[in-house]
Amino acid sequence: MTRDFLFTSESVTAGHPDKLCDQISDAIVDRYLQQDPFASVMAETAVSKAILFIAVHFASKGTVDIPGLAREVIRDIGYKDEAFNARSCSVMTSLNEVSVSDDLLLDERELDEEMLDRLTVKEHATVFGFACNQTEQLLPLPIVLAHELAHTLADVQQSRAVPYLEPDGKTQVGIEYRENRPERLHSVTLVASQSRDAPSLSRLRDDLMDRVIEPVFAQKEIRPDDRSSISINPEGAVVLGGPGLHSGSTGRKTGVDTWGDYARSSGSALSGKDPTRIDRVGVYAARHAAKNVVAAGLADECEVQLSYSIGLPHPVTVRARTFGTGKVPNAEISKRIEESFDLRLGAVLRNFGLRWLPRERRQDFYRRLACYGQVGRPELDLPWERIDAVARLV
């Protein structure tokens, strides 16, 4: 196994078209669950210049003004230009009210352990969770830095600290590894969109260096050195950006949502699905297990694979890989995970409170996950990020 390598991860701002779509889809999930925690919702969004298309399959006692909600998200993100804005863009919807199986209407909080088996998964899914000890979040360093840069870039745009910035932006961070550990910063790339009346490209580069890159790395152990490549809009100005420049759709940024492609990601989108969808919440369960394995000191890196089959309440496969960093064999870690975590759908819903979080949190819950990662995120107090199973694993 190569232990010296270069790895890069990307993140995007809330105004990137794909993330705009993720936020709209998850805002729809939030709005239904706030009214009806037992709602079944699948929402997919696509966007292009001046037009938004939303397809929703749902079963719920609640009602949602879906076009109005989509315009609210667009307005919050800050699109105001004539090419794309909340007021004038066309919003097309395809709504399909469906029936839902009776077992998914059971309240997992009131079921005993035997009755939890009645909550079965409705789709085949193989999902992955990953953790490593490179950062406090137990995530790979490249994606953590890429998210911090993207979030800072978005904050600068939203606050108008750099008044000519538009919402669409991308970041990428490359890290050199020695002996499987982050050693130095190889590269940073920022791509920011700007208004038609923006000043020169050199001004943009100076502003983003001063307002984004330098603040993010000011207190970091690994920071730019004289060999690091720093690129800001390397191909020139990006005027307006967003849906006026490139299209977007729900679920295209699974690497951004998880570990920055440092380990395997599940093939399905995470956004736009209510928490009875195991292809979403199974990722949270697998991440929870992997994070606790690393926190327990059983491995420096851990990937947990869970495979679910239609009609069953539990995974048919539980597999851990530690890439040569394990202190005990992979088979033993897999066994301890099965013994220490209840990975049934009903137990995941109950233990994480997933159907109730949109109602309990003062702000939308799932929509906030749609940008800057659905794992990590210490500011959100995510239940699957808690290190609460270490004692059971050791």
Name the domain boundary from 223, 244, 265. 244
Q: What per-residue confidence (pLDDT) applies to 101?
A: 83
Q: Is residue 225 part of a domain?
A: yes
Name the domain boundary from 244, 264, 290. 244
Q: What per-residue confidence (pLDDT) applies to 117?
A: 95
- Under DSSP, is residue 173 helix (H, G, I), strand (E, B) or coil? strand
Are residues 169 and 131 part of one domain?
no
In this predicted structure, the answer to whether residue 103 has a pLDDT above a threshold of 90 is: no
Are residues 230 and 283 part of one domain?
no
Could you tell me the two tokens for 265?
A: 């990601």
Q: Which residues contact 125 (CB under 8 A, 6 or more apart)?
A: 266, 268, 278, 279, 282, 307, 308
Q: Is residue 334 part of a domain?
A: yes
Name the domain boundary from 244, 260, 293. 244
Name residue, tokens 């705009």. 20
- Under DSSP, is residue 131 helix (H, G, I), strand (E, B) or coil? strand
Q: What per-residue confidence (pLDDT) applies to 340?
A: 97
Q: What per-residue confidence (pLDDT) applies to 104?
A: 86
362: confidence class by pLDDT, cuts 50, 70, 90? confident
pTM of the model: 0.96
Are 130 and 263 contacting, i.e. CB atoms less than 8 angstroms apart?
yes
In this predicted structure, the answer to whether residue 139 has a pLDDT above a threshold of 60 is: yes
Q: Is residue 266 part of a domain?
A: no
Are residues 383 and 287 part of one domain?
yes
Its domain, for residue 169, covers: 5-11+143-244
230-247 pLDDT, tens digit each: 999 999 999 989 998 899
Q: Is residue 240 part of a domain?
A: yes
Are 262 and 145 contacting, i.e. CB atoms less than 8 angstroms apart?
no
Q: What percent of the chain has pLDDT over 90?
A: 93
82: confidence class by pLDDT, cuts 50, 70, 90? confident
Mean pLDDT of 288-292: 98
Q: Which residues contact 296 (CB under 8 A, 6 or more apart)?
A: 389, 390, 393, 394
Are residues 386 and 342 part of one domain?
yes
Mean pLDDT of 106-128: 94
Mean pLDDT of 136-150: 98
Are residues 220 and 322 part of one domain?
no
Q: What per-residue confidence (pLDDT) applies to 317?
A: 97
Are residues 292 and 229 part of one domain?
no
Task: Please state, in angstroms and rounded to a whole number, the distance separating the CA atoms of residues 17 and 146.
Answer: 18
68 exposure class (CB count in 10 Å sphere: 0-12, 13-18, 19+): exposed
Q: Is residue 311 part of a domain?
A: yes
In this predicted structure, the answer to whether residue 69 has a pLDDT above a threshold of 70 is: yes
Q: Give me Rg for the CA atoms of the chain.
A: 21
Q: What per-residue confidence (pLDDT) applies to 1?
A: 55
- Under DSSP, is residue 3 helix (H, G, I), strand (E, B) or coil? coil
Task: Please state, in angstroms and rounded to a whole number, the distance separating the CA atoms of residues 162 and 35.
Answer: 39
Q: Is residue 104 part of a domain?
A: no
Q: Is residue 112 part of a domain?
A: no
Averaged pLDDT score across all residues of the chain: 96
Mean pLDDT of 367-392: 97
- Under DSSP, is residue 43 helix (H, G, I), strand (E, B) or coil? strand
Are residues 194 and 130 part of one domain?
no
Mean pLDDT of 28-56: 96
Q: Is residue 231 part of a domain?
A: yes
Establish how many alpha carbons lie within 13 A of residue 18's alpha carbon, considering only the half-sphere containing its beta carbon. Answer: 16
Are residues 218 and 152 part of one domain?
yes
Are residues 131 and 182 part of one domain?
no
Q: What per-residue confidence (pLDDT) applies to 266?
A: 87
Q: What per-residue confidence (pLDDT) applies to 244?
A: 86
Are residues 383 and 289 part of one domain?
yes
Q: What per-residue confidence (pLDDT) applies to 3?
A: 85
Task: Please state, in angstroms and rounded to a whole number, the distance separating the CA atoms of residues 106 and 103.
Answer: 5
156-172 pLDDT, tens digit each: 999 999 999 999 999 99
Mean pLDDT of 281-298: 98
CA 62 to chain CA centroid, nearest Å: 26
Judged by average pLDDT, the poorest of 101-105, 146-150, 187-191 is: 101-105
In this predicted structure, the answer to whether residue 277 has a pLDDT above a threshold of 90 is: yes
Q: What per-residue confidence (pLDDT) applies to 83?
A: 81
Are residues 282 and 227 part of one domain?
no
The domain total for the chain is: 2
Are residues 386 and 329 part of one domain?
yes
CATH number of domain containing 281 = 3.30.300.10
Bridge partners for 303 per DSSP? 130, 321
Q: What per-residue confidence (pLDDT) applies to 87?
A: 93
Q: What per-residue confidence (pLDDT) applies to 102?
A: 85
Judged by average pLDDT, the poorest of 23-37, 54-68, 99-113, 307-321 is: 99-113
What DSSP element (H or E) covers 185?
Answer: strand 181-194
